[in-house]
Amino acid sequence: MHSHHNALGLAAALRPVQPVTLIRPHAAQRAARYFVERFPGKSLYAVKANPSPDLLKVLWESGITHYDVASIAEVRLVARTLPEAMLCFMHPVKAEEAIEEAYFTHGVRTFSLDTMDELEKIVRATNGATDLNLCVRIRVSSDHAKLSLASKFGAEPGETKDLLMAARQAADALGICFHVGSQAMTAAAYGEAMARVRAAIVEAAVTVDIVDVGGGFPSTYPGMEPPPLETYFEVIHNAFESLPISYSAELWCEPGRALCAEYASVLVRVEKRRGDELYINDGAYGALFDAAHIGWRFPVKLVREEASDARDMAFSFYGPTCDDLDHMTGPFLLPADVQAGDYIEIGMLGAYGSAMRTGFNGFGSDLTVIVEDEPMASLYGVSEERRTASNVVQL
């Protein structure tokens, strides 16, 4: 894999026609070490955020030993890439064949569930195994998150008592898990969810061995600047310490975005300008799925050897396909003199950018290059001068 100091060095050397993914292994390493050293429990990487084998290896080498997998394909990927990793199958609805393969072939012992049917399926698929860690997912609010995960999964309050009691009978270790939604912007999301956990434990009167607070830990984007992650950790720790649980109970979390958002960006080329609209060579069917479909704003900067003196103005982007849906409204702030042939770096795409790519309309690129500079924003102690990149990068 090629390496350059930054996006400008790459653009000057290669003048790429296709979009290029720029990866920063040091940024993922820093994020992993932050969670390993500061989260008051065990951190499971949510593989769905970015399933790159290279990233999985960086996280493993940085101390992440447990992985939240949501499909048998993810189970196989992590088992193949990291044979010693602990895999936790945390999707609450799984094919019986997937459970069977995960348990007997790949040594998976931790499974999530939110219904009696799923509990029975797990017991059946594992031939009544007695070494299961069963995590009952309860439904909690996503009101504090930018993306809701409150409607699809999670046992309702009236269902949790019987489900916890039944899972306790089938489990070697019983857990409760939840998900507050993606990009939770306040630690209160976890405090409120932990209150639900307390109520569920008290009602069911069961011994709980694992409390998994799930994902939702944020990264930083334009217009979405969360408080320090330590604030989240403190709220979670205090709530965990007050729960009526086993003295040896474990606290887990499942960060995805927070571990990998800073890992990657994308270098794109402007193919056409039409007023305040820029036609670029990546888009809704590539790394910019979130920018198109949920209006996510990513940091951008013009990559040009000579600095621009033009004021910033708001642009929207069109991607390379034939579809009107291939549109990212932004606004993306760039110098007003940006034109066809210019390159733009779009940052903070390590989470979900690579995972959501397709080859629709024949567009796309697998070209990946390591860069050594800092990500365009960071929650992990990068100095302010390095943290907020200017709109124009110079050599």
10-residue block means of pLDDT along the chain (395 residues)? Answer: 85 93 97 98 98 98 98 98 98 98 98 98 98 98 89 93 98 98 96 97 97 97 95 98 94 98 97 98 95 94 92 97 95 97 96 90 89 94 47 38
Helix (H), strand (E), coil (C) string for 249-303: CEEEECCCHHHHHHHEEEEEEEEEEECCEEEECCCCCCCCHHHHHCCCCCCEEEE
Q: What is the pLDDT at residue 1?
A: 64
C-beta separation of 262 from 335 below 8 A:
no
CA–CA dist 328, 320 (Å, integer): 12
- Give the pLDDT of residue 89: 98
CA angle 164, 137, 209 (to 5 degrees): 55
Burial class (CB in 10 A: 0-12, 13-18, 19+), 368: middle
Question: Which letter does DSSP use for residue 381 in this model?
Answer: S
DSSP 373: S
d(CA 224, CA 182): 12
Q: Which domains can be identified in the chain, with CATH numbers?
A: 3-23+261-393 (2.40.37.10), 26-260 (3.20.20.10)
Q: At what angle do helices 116-125 and 96-104 cross, to 10 degrees?
A: 50
Say what the pLDDT of residue 393 is.
Answer: 39
Residue 180 to residue 183: CA distance in whole angstroms: 9
What pLDDT does residue 382 have?
63
Q: Rounded CA gap, 388 and 374, in Å?
A: 9
Quick one: pLDDT at residue 362? Answer: 87
Neighbours of 133 (CB within 10 A): 19
Q: What is the pTM of this model?
A: 0.93
Stretch (H or E) spanning 135: strand 133-137
Phi (first) and psi of residue 49, to 5 degrees: -65, -35
Query: DSSP secondary-structure letter at 362?
Result: G
Residue 97's CB is within 10 A of a number of other CB atoms, namely: 10
